[in-house]
Amino acid sequence: YGFPLGEPSFFTASASSLVMSWAQKDYMRAARTALIGANLNLKDVRQQVELDVALGYVQLDNDLKEIAALEQENSHAASLVEIEQDRVRAGVDPRIDELNAELTAAQVDEKRIQLGNDAEAMRQKLAHLTGLPATDLGTVSSSIPSAPAGNAMSSDDQRAVAANPGVAAAYATARAKWFTAFGDAKQNYRPLATFGAEYALFEETPGYTNYYKTFQYNNVELGVSITFPLFDATRRAKARESTADAAHAQADADAARDILSEQTSTMRGNVRELAAEQRVAQVQSEIAQEQLKAVETELTQGTGLPNARPVAPTQAEKAHIEERQYYVEMLEANLAVMKVELNLMRVTGQIDAWVGASLK
């Protein structure tokens, strides 16, 4: 009843666009830089996964080698216990020698169990990272490439920092926030122009033609809006917030760079120290092998010296146990060096090439 309410629009369409903005280019630069940072973060995560898989695989390979050596050591320890038991019953050796043999066997068995549990944990970890079944997951030692030659002695830390995708992503994020801050600052005291258009198709319903002299089916509006933000406190506060956020991101990136540089220097020193310990362990293992050969020769052929005391069977078993112990220590030294080298390759951006070498 009365004048028709609303508008008789049957179909409407609207469009708007930016005509002029001093800040828009900075916002576009911020978006592009943020995308670069996101891709670098993705690369950083991928390299971390590669490192986790490599460390798990190397650890599992070492565990399996140590378990095999400890099983041999355990066999010799069991033989030593039996020999000492016979010698104690015969009154040749005191009871303490038998107890020491039993202690050696128990320690070997304890370490073997620990390594078995660690190997199972590594299988579970690799299964989760790779999607392979954990059951009977083994390794191929020959598939593990050595670390790049001279990696530990390299001193080009600046290149290492630049090659690290995590640090590069942090700087890309900081640059993106600086661009955003520049854009927010340009929102103040600079005009902003936008264009708008709207089209509406009206329908002729009962009553409208009685109140309008001319009724139009097609209707169009066009307009340009120009804003001069002269006294906009909100925009000024937003610009200060963006600047502070960008400065914070820049400081975080600098801190990440400095931490990486310190870690790189520390790891290079650790590699040199562990390489020296590795060499000591290798020499000790070689000495133990030569001593074992000498004991076995004397046990089978005699000492070759008149009135020399013959080698007791317990000495041979102890030599076997000692040789296996030094061999396990050498494996542990090799693993320690490999772990540090892998982490060093991770922070210096060489882990991708190392993984690629293992796949050839």
Are residues 188 and 229 in contact, defined by beta-carbon separation less than 8 angstroms? yes
> Under 8 Å CB-to-CB from 86, ≥6 apart: which residues?
none
Q: What is the predicted pLDDT for the residue at 304? A: 58
Give yes or no for residue 11 having a pLDDT over 70. Answer: yes
Are residues 339 and 156 in contact, defined by beta-carbon separation less than 8 angstroms? no
Per residue in 122-167, pLDDT (tens digit) is 999 999 998 989 888 889 988 888 877 655 445 566 677 777 899 9
Q: What is the predicted pLDDT for the residue at 152? A: 46
What share of the chain in percent tops pLDDT 70?
Answer: 92
Per residue in 158-208, pLDDT (tens digit) is 677 777 899 999 999 999 999 999 999 998 888 999 999 999 988 877 667
Q: What is the predicted pLDDT for the residue at 305? A: 58
Q: What is the predicted pLDDT for the residue at 155? A: 55
**Average of per-residue pLDDT values in the chain:** 88
Q: What is the predicted pLDDT for the residue at 226? A: 93
Q: What is the amino acid identity at position 338?
A: M
Q: CA geometry: angle at 205 spanning 199 and 206, to 5°?
A: 150
Q: What is the predicted pLDDT for the residue at 359? A: 75
Least confident stretch, 25-29, 70-74, 226-230: 226-230
Core vs surface per residue 185-203: b (16+ CB within 10 A) or e: bbbbeeebeeeeeeebebe
- Higher local confidence (pLDDT), 231 or 127: 127
Residue 333: band (very low, low, confident or very high) from pLDDT cuts 50, 70, 90: very high
Are residues 33 and 180 in contact, defined by beta-carbon separation less than 8 angstroms? no
What share of the chain in percent tops pLDDT 90?
Answer: 58
pTM across the whole model: 0.80
Give yes or no for residue 302 having a pLDDT over 60. Answer: yes
Q: What are phi and psi of 219, to 5 degrees?
A: -135, 135
Q: What is the amino acid identity at position 259?
A: I
